[in-house]
Every structure is written in C-alpha cells, then in structure tokens.
Amino acid sequence: MSETKAYTGGCHCGKVRFEAQIALEKVTACNCSICSKAGWLLAFVPAAQFKLIAGEGAVTDYQFAKKHLHHPFCATCGIRSYSYGESGKGDLMYAVNTRCLDDLDAPALPVSHFDGKAL
C-alpha cells in the first residue's frame, strides 16, 4: 500500500485550488454519463483529507439524476477538479479528478474500472 501524500491541484485558470491527502496506488475510471464524458480519473478521500484552498465563490454546483453528488465547476474556465457527496455509510467523501493534480501523470497510474452505468 502506498503512503498518503499531500497533493495540490485545481482548475485550468487557477481560481479553484485544493489540497488532498491521497494514497495513490491506482485511479478509478467510471463509465457513468458524467465521468465518461469528462474523462475523469478519480481518487477518493474522506472530507478530513480534502481542503479547498481557493475558489469557494468561484464554483457553480451541478447536480443531476438523484442529486446525491455535487459536481462543482469553475465558473470561469469550466473545469471540474473535484466532486463530493456522502458515501454509502453516510460519510462525506471527495472524488478528486487526478488529472487536475499538480505535477502528476495520472494516466500513468494503474486504472481500475467502475461500472457507474449500472447504478
């Protein structure tokens, strides 16, 4: 198991910035309608391991279907660098778009596939 490391990341224009403590052994590619269209490679972290550094007022929230998950995106450049919602156990979790992490080649990591279409 890899160690947890602090990563920083954000949107394209830089208005949204965050820090996340992530143990990156692999990334997850989900085939649901929003993840597949956006090309996300995800890493999941509990709320205590995610901190929005800048851009709270720069994001617009997007929800669809059952409206269980929040998909904030930068109102300036449109990039969705993270999402959040409750886990199946009721804990607040963040899904970090690893393609938005600084100095990380996300596609070079092993990829696991999740069948989000089946949900």
Euclidean distance between CA atoms 53 and 111, whole angstroms? 28
pTM of the model: 0.90
Domain membership of residue 108 (yes or no) is no
Number of domains in the chain: 1
Q: Tell which residue, 30, 45, 31, has the closest CA to residue 82.
A: 45
Domain membership of residue 43 (yes or no) is yes
- Domain hosting residue 20, numbered range: 5-101
Top-confidence residue, 66 or 92: 92
Domain holding 15: CATH number?
2.170.150.70
Model confidence over 32-60: pLDDT tens digits? 998 899 999 999 999 999 999 999 999 99
